Copies of this chain bind each other. A is one copy, B any other.
Amino acid sequence: MNSVLGTFLAILFAISSAAGRPTNEVKSIHEQTVKDTSKEIAAYSNIAMDIINLAVNGNAQNRSYNRLAEFVDSIGNRISGSGNLDQAIKYMYSALKENGLENVHLEPVKVPHWVRGQESAVMLEPRNHTIAILGLGSSVGTPPEGITAEVLVVQSFDELHQRAQEAKGKIVVFNEQFVSYGETVKYREFGASEAAKVGAVASLIRSVTPFSINSPHTGQQDYQADVVKIPAACITIEDAEMMARMARRNIRIVLHLMMGAQTYPDALSYNTVAEIVGSQFPKQVVLVSGHLDSWDVGQGAMDDGGGAFISFEALSLIKDLGLRPKRTLRLVLWTGEEQGGVGASQYFALHKVNISDFDLVMESDIGTFTPLGIGFTGSSEARKIMEQVMSLLESINATNLFQKGEGTDINFWIQAGVPGASLLTESSKYFWFHHSEGDTMSVQDPIQMNLCSAVWAVVAYVVADLQEMLPR
C-alpha cells in the first residue's frame, strides 16, 4: 500500500465513522471507495464521448492509420541496430514535435546489433527443393561455404532427448505443433542450444504460428551459456511437415544451410518520449506506450507500428480537445523491444527511482484490431476503479477489463508493483502475420485503429485526471 492510498483511506474511514456506519470497516471502506470514484468517473462521460467522437467520426478519423501508413511506407521495417530504426526515431521525434506535444526528447540506450545477411536453405536429398528460411535473431552464421548435413526431425524436446544419440552432426528440425505462442515459443528461444547439447550442427524450427502460406516467422532466440552456438533459423509449417513425413518414411534428408548472420557491438539507440504535462501533479505519470523497433521483415506495421501509433494518437486526441489532465501523460516509444525489452529495461533502471510517481503503465503490443477492452494488473481496489473507467467505453463496446495487464516493455514496472494495462483486441489472426513478411499495412484497418485510439485515450486521460493515483 503506498502513502497516497493510505491518506485516501484514512479520510474515507473518518467519513464512514462519522456517519455511524457498522463495524465491518474494511468492507465499508471499500464500498465507499468504489462508490466515490464511481461518481467521480461517471462525470467523465462527456469527455469520453468527445474523445470517442473525435477519434471515430471527427477530424481525427483514420489519422492513426494514415500516420502509420506514411511512416512504415517511408521507412520500412526497423530492426534494433539498423539505419532504418535510427531514421524511424528521427522521424518520430519530428512528428511528435510537429504535433505540438511537450518535452519531446530521446533517451539514449544501448541495443543489440544483429544483421541477418544473406541466407538460404536447399534440400539436396531426397530431391532438390528450396526451403524458405529466416534466421533467428542473435543466431550465429554458418561458415561461408555453409553447412551440409543430414536432418533429424523431432516433434518435441522430449523426442530430441530420447533420440540424442542420433543427433550428432545433424541439422535438427523441430516440427513442434503450435499450441499457443506462450507455450510454443520455447522452441524458437531454446531450440538451438538444446540441439547443440546433443551434438547437432544447426537447428531449424517450425515457425511459431498456427497458419502459414509458406511463410517463415523469425524472432529472438537465446543461446544458453556454456553451450556451443550453432546456427538457428525458422522454416515454414509446410516444409517442417514435409520433412516429418519424409522422416516417417525413413527417407534420408540432406540440407545445405547458408547463413551470413553477424552480431556487431551494441549500438546506440533511443527511447522516444513526449508528454502532455500534468496540470496539478506534473511529476506523477500515466505512461502510454508501444515499440518503434520491429523485425527486419515486412513493415512492422502490426508489431508494433499499430501500438506505437495509437499511443501517439491517444496524446494527439487529448491535445486536440484542449484537455490537460492533473497528472502527466507520457508517451514512450520503446526501442529494442524485440530483443527482450532492451530499451524498456534501461528506461526502468533509469526511472525506477521515481516509481512512486508512476500511476499506471500502459502498453499496446498484441495488435490494434477491433478493441475488446484492456488487460489489467493491479490491486483489487484499483481493479474496481478501472472497471468504472472501462464503463465509459460502452458506446464502442470495449468495456472488458481482463485479468492480466502485461507486456515485455511494462512488465518491469508491473513486477515492481505499478498497475499495468495492455490493450486487448480481436487478435485471433495476430500470429498469422507476426514476425513475417506479412506484417504490413494490409493487416491494419483504419476503423479498428480509430477505436483502439479512443480506448487508449479515454483510459489514459481519465486515470491521469482522477483525484487520486490508482491504489497499489
Interface residues of chain A, those whose CB is within 8 Å of chain B, are: 69-70, 73-76, 126-127, 129, 132, 212-215, 237-238, 241-242, 245-246, 249, 298-299, 432-433, 436-438, 440-442
Contacts and interface: CB of A to CB of B under 8 A. Distances in A.
Given A70-B249, A245-B73, A245-B441, A214 B212 contact: no
A437 B132 contact: yes
A242 B71 CA distance: 12
A76 B122 CA distance: 14
A436 B213 contact: yes
A238 B441 contact: yes
3 shortest interchain CB distances as A-B pairs: A213-B438, A214-B437, A238-B440
Nearest to A127: B76
Contacts of A69: 245
B214 A298 contact: yes
Contacts of A440: 214, 238, 241-242
Nearest to A432: B213
Contacts of A132: 437
Contacts of A213: 212-213, 215, 432-433, 436-438
13 contacts: A74-B126, A74-B127, A76-B129, A212-B438, A213-B213, A213-B432, A213-B433, A214-B437, A237-B442, A238-B437, A238-B440, A242-B299, A242-B440
A235 to B, nearest CB: 12
Contacts of A241: 440-442
A164 B32 CA distance: 72
Given A241-B442, A245-B441, A440-B242, A214 B215 contact: yes
Contacts of A74: 126-127
Nearest to A237: B442
A309 to B, nearest CB: 15
Given A73-B242, A214-B215, A238-B440, 4 more contacts: A69-B245, A214-B437, A214-B440, A215-B438
A36 to B, nearest CB: 49
Contacts of A432: 213
A215 B132 CA distance: 12
Contacts of A126: 74
A214 B245 contact: no
A260 to B, nearest CB: 16
